[in-house]
Amino acid sequence: MNIFNTKIKNNAGMTYVEIIVVLSIFSVIVSVSMYNYGGFQERVDIKNLASDIALQIVEAQKSALSGLLPPPTFLPPLGWKPSYGVYFNLAGAENKSFIYFTDFPTLTVYDGLSSCTGECLNKVTLTTKNSYISRLDVFYQSAPLIPVSIQNLTITFSRPDSGAKLTSSPALSPNISHAQITVTSQKGATSLIKIYPFGRIQVN
């Protein structure tokens, strides 16, 4: 009988100290997991935002190649070839939006205002919270590829060429390798959109 009681005492539950240690370890694991999840979700969100911007550029390319006519409110000049583009400007609060436009005439530049007038079809505002377009760069065909920062960028497509016309003010030099748009989140996560003159759009 005494032996049985001794076994029961030896099999008693966890002490308060053991419980506190286990809970502390569990709290640390949960905290680290939540922190890593937050960073992971932020990277996913900024990548999705960059993909949405890239899709709008692709939409301009498809609209031009398919010969899509602009809305009836636009009166294209005689001999106009369907031309569409996207315009980015880092001035002021414009780094949280960009312009989707149709090009009248086909000069490969956006002639409207940031308030969406003239050639503007739609002003697209970034919906991901506190994310913005932080940089516009152009790379030239030289080794090594060194980014040249610019303040505005127009990407235009005209039928029948699938290639992108990359322009800026002041004017860009010839022999462009590609242009790059950097999208940044509130906490500094970034994603890159690369546009090549031959028409390729890539998200990194």
Residue 36 predicted with pLDDT over 70: no
Task: Give dist(CA 135, CA 50) in Å, integer.
Answer: 13
**pLDDT of the residue at 33:** 59
160 belongs to a structural domain:
yes
What's the maximum distance between 2 C-alpha atoms anywhere in the chain? 108
For 77-110, b/e burial (b = at least 16 CB within 10 A) is eeebebbbbbbbbbeeebbebbbbbbbbebebbb
Give the pTM. 0.80
What are the residues whose beta carbons fall under 8 Å from the beta carbon of 179, sequence distance 6 or more? 136, 137, 138, 139, 153, 155, 166, 194, 195
Q: Which domain holds residue 198?
A: 38-203
Confidence of residue 189 (pLDDT cuts 50, 70, 90): very high
Distance CA 190, CA 204 (A): 9
Q: Total structural domains in the chain?
A: 1
Decide if 24 is inside a domain.
Answer: no
Q: Is residue 27 part of a domain?
A: no
Least confident of 4-18, 48-62, 119-133, 163-177: 4-18
63 located within any domain = yes
Say if 70 falls within a structural domain.
yes
User: Looking at the domain assignment, is residue 93 inside a domain?
Assistant: yes
